[in-house]
Structure 1
Amino acid sequence: MSKLHIDSITKSFKENKILQDIYLGCETGQIIGILGRNGVGKSTLLKIIFGTEYGDSQFIKYDNTILKSMSDRKNRIAYLPQNLFLPKFIKIKNLIPLFCNQKNTELLFTSEFVQPFLHEKPKNLSKGEQRIIETLMIIYSESHFILLDEPFHSLSPKVSAALKAAIIEQSENRGFIISDHNFKDVLDISKITYLLSDGHLKQIQDFKELQRYNYLPKSI
């Protein structure tokens, strides 16, 4: 079992402090959900953990190794950003092995969501088709910890169900931190759920607490 230790993360934009002394721990075998309204800092937090953005202060450790650079995170942390990231002019069949080992490459080659597009380039696919492919590539990548930012956005119930099943299966040997506005999908699979509000993470025990913190209306 490996552990990702995230501590003392603060981040401000001008006078607006969006993250205040954030602490978060994730172990392989765990699925952690992070909910919150637009603009509260969920994506910023994931980017800081992944290393593409820096906090005003931060401490991130993988087991006994303090992570200071992107190279420290290689094969330890993978990140699915909100925006599409696949190179537009390289065929899908050539991109998958860059992220996945041979076993998972062969698995994705036979996936009903990937197989029809193996010989296509991302520029020829719809945004939805690209999104499911790149999400699966990150889920089945070599890394022990997977950060997913809006993985269920604009996906059909069938595709979302398949993604949730893949995440649950892969969580046996990996840790997941997932942020998405489709809160029901997050709650379905998360073992621990947090609400990011006013710069702080609040652990959520049940659906009613989301209403109590005004993340959801009382009438739902």
Structure 2
Amino acid sequence: MLHVDSVIKGFDTKQVLSDVFISCKKGDIVALMGRNGVGKSTLLKIIFGSISADEKFVRIGDKVLSKAFEKNDLIKYLPQDSFLPNHLKISAIIDLFCKGEKALYVRNHYFIKSIANKNSGELSGGERRLLEILLVVYSEAKYVLIDEPFNGVDPIHKEEIKRLIKSQSVDKGFIVTDHDYRSLLEISTRQILINDGATKEVKDIEELLEGGYLPKGD
């Protein structure tokens, strides 16, 4: 299990996260929900190790993780902004991020077959996002953190991203955040709401309404 506890993070005089707890196990798709500015992206970056926290405890199984490079094939993080090098061919990028049978799965995906000889800089924003999703979900990582997978993606690719995450959750655990709460609710097995710097597991839409995340009547 990915176990995250005692996360505290402030910026200048603003306290963003206060003693946050979140967990994820194989088979989980955890929807991380909350209003803009509550610290969802910050929490994912802290879990991965790309930004520091005032306090944190992150463990996968028996291994306590303190630095991003320690995670290697244990955990991957997909940020909001694209990370793909513009000058490389798609086929070369796949070789960098995926190995063996996983790379073969990605190469044989219908979308990849149509773009394999392009440079990533030639892709639209939505196409880049789908490629990035393929790279992280078919990585060797046991846990995958994804920030805004549906942003700028057309409806067809959005449905494929949902399918990919759900299909790969058999062998992995996912923590996903996105403003498209309907898509999150559709694919998630658990929902965690960040509110007032703390996390709370929610069971139904009413709790999301009470937490101020969803507008009443939506």
TM-score (norm: length of structure 1): 0.96
Which of 75, 90, 93 is residue 91 of structure 2 equivalent to? Answer: 93
Percent pairwise identity: 39
The corresponding residue for 1:141 is: 139
- In structure 2, C-alpha distance between the alignment counterparts of 1:124 and 1:162, rounded to whole Å: 21
Q: C-alpha displacement at 1:120, in angstroms?
A: 0.9
- In structure 1, C-alpha distance between the alignment counterparts of 2:214 and 2:67, rounded to whole Å: 37
| Structure 1 residue ranges without an equivalent (≥5) | none
The corresponding residue for 1:155 is: 153
Matches within 5 A, 1:123-202: 123-202=121-200
Amino acid at match of 1:181: H
- In structure 1, C-alpha distance between the alignment counterparts of 2:49 and 2:78, rounded to whole Å: 13
The corresponding residue for 2:4 is: 6
Secondary structure of the 1:129 match is: helix
The corresponding residue for 1:23 is: 21
- In structure 2, C-alpha distance between the alignment counterparts of 1:65 and 1:102, rounded to whole Å: 26
Secondary structure of the 1:113 match is: helix
The corresponding residue for 1:67 is: 65
Amino acid at match of 1:21: D
Secondary structure of the 1:8 match is: strand
| Structure 2 residue ranges without an equivalent (≥5) | none
Residue 202 of structure 2 is aligned to residue 204 of structure 1: yes
- In structure 2, C-alpha distance between the alignment counterparts of 1:145 and 1:72, rounded to whole Å: 14
Contact preservation (8 Å) 2:127, 2:153: no
Residue 107 of structure 2 is aligned to residue 109 of structure 1: yes
Q: C-alpha displacement at 1:191, in angstroms?
A: 1.0
Amino acid at match of 2:192: Y
Count of residues in Structure 1 that have an aligned counterpart in Structure 2: 218
Amino acid at match of 1:65: K
Q: CA RMSD in A?
A: 1.0
The corresponding residue for 1:118 is: 116
TM-score (norm: length of structure 2): 0.97
Contact preservation (8 Å) 1:99, 1:142: no
Consecutive aligned runs of 4 or more in structure 1 exceeding 4 Å deviation:
none
Secondary structure of the 2:163 match is: helix
